[in-house]
């Protein structure tokens, strides 16, 4: 008899087919609440979800046979880890499976905002490129020689740093602690990093401890020629403070792939010309998706074989 799994969000169709080869698969759910559980949920042994969705005590309590929560990506912020630990429920995620894909997307957002690539596209489409002047749009600082501050030098942040080295940027970071294995400038506060940096990239893990870590003071420290890139979670940035900073020239621009209240994006952000907005797709490369799926399958196989998870999360 196949073990029963419950997917909360709709997973990719081809991946669903692979899961059904070895498991009975229920879902997706309209909402991640006990009221939305499908028929047969009392048999569920593993829950498949993503970090941005709530997997709270009430949902886990409604699944009496639940023994594993498996997150499709790296995020785990929606999981009530204390309740899972108390119940003896294991937790797994994708580890660094999508790190390369997210890092390259971060560099894309960095280029888009700092070099005003979307503005150039709109300039051409509007028919404003006329005559033979050298200056078509106002010149902007390049990346070579500028200072890139990375908030969170983990699997993704370290890959961003290596890619930024190829652009001849100077690299600094703020972490919970200094990394002796990394050659970059360590700053013992996020505010200090922002004061030093020309571009600030947020790649810290989501969690209550870093809610609104990038606030008005940090944005002011980044300065009127500074740019913010966020490929972490929207919760890490005070969105109202960011809107105000972009509207008033406190910072020059931003590139955002994540937002505080996804999928809702503030109308204030949408109205601004100096911000690049994308729909949480940093990990949407084929290679990153394939790696995440293989990691989830590996976690499931290991768990039901009584072996350690491929990518466990400590509770």
- Residues assigned a catalytic role: 233, 262, 280
- C-alpha count within 13 angstroms, C-beta hemisphere, residue 153: 26
Q: Give the 3-state DSSP-derived string for the chain, with helices as H, strands as E and coil as C.
A: CCCEEEECCCCCHHHHHHHHHHCEEECCCCCCCHHHCCCCHHHEEEEEECCCCCECHHHHHCCCCCCEEEECCCCCCCECHHHHHHHCCEEECCCCCCHHHHHHHHHHHHHHHHCCHHHHHHHHHCCCCCCCCCCCCCCCCCCCCCEEEEECCCHHHHHHHHHHHCCCCEEEEECCCCCCCCCCEECCCHHHHHHHCCEEEECCCCCHHHCCCECHHHHHHHCCCCEEEECCCHHHECHHHHHHHHHHCCCCEEEECCCCECCECCHHHHCCCCEEECCCCCCCCHHHHHHHHHHHHHHHHHHHCCCCCCCECCC
Token pair recorded at residue 24: 């009975």
Distance CA 61, CA 111 (A): 46
């Amino acid at each position: 008899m196949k073990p029963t799994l419950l997917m909360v969000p709709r997973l990719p169709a081809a991946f669903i087919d692979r899961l059904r080869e070895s498991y009975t698969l229920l879902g997706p759910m309209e909402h991640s609440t006990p009221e939305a559980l499908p028929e047969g949920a009392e048999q569920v042994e593993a829950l498949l979800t993503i970090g941005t969705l709530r997997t709270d005590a009430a949902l886990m309590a409604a699944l009496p046979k639940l023994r594993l929560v498996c997150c499709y990506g790296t995020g785990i912020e929606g999981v009530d880890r204390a309740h899972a630990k108390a119940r003896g429920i294991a937790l797994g995620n994708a580890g660094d499976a999508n790190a390369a894909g997210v890092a390259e997307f971060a560099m894309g957002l960095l280029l888009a905002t700092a070099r005003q690539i979307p503005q150039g596209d709109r300039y051409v489409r509007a028919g404003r490129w006329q005559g033979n002047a050298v200056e078509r749009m106002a010149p902007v600082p390049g990346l070579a020689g500028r200072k890139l501050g990375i908030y969170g030098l983990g699997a993704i942040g370290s890959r961003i740093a290596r890619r930024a080295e190829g652009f001849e940027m100077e690299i600094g970071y703020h972490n919970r602690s200094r990394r002796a294995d990394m050659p970059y400038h360590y700053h013992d506060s996020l505010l200090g990093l922002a004061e030093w940096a020309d571009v600030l990239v947020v790649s810290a893990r989501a969690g209550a401890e870093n809610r609104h870590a990038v606030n008005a003071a940090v944005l002011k420290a980044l300065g009127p020629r500074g740019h913010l890139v966020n490929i972490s979670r929207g919760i890490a940035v005070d969105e109202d403070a960011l809107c105000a900073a972009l509207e008033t020239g406190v910072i020059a621009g931003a590139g955002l792939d994540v937002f505080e209240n996804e999928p809702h994006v503030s109308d204030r952000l949408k109205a601004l010309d100096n911000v690049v907005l994308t729909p949480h797709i940093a990990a949407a490369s084929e290679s990153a998706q394939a790696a995440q799926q293989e990691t989830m399958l590996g976690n499931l196989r290991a768990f039901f074989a009584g072996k350690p998870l491929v990518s466990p999360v400590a509770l």
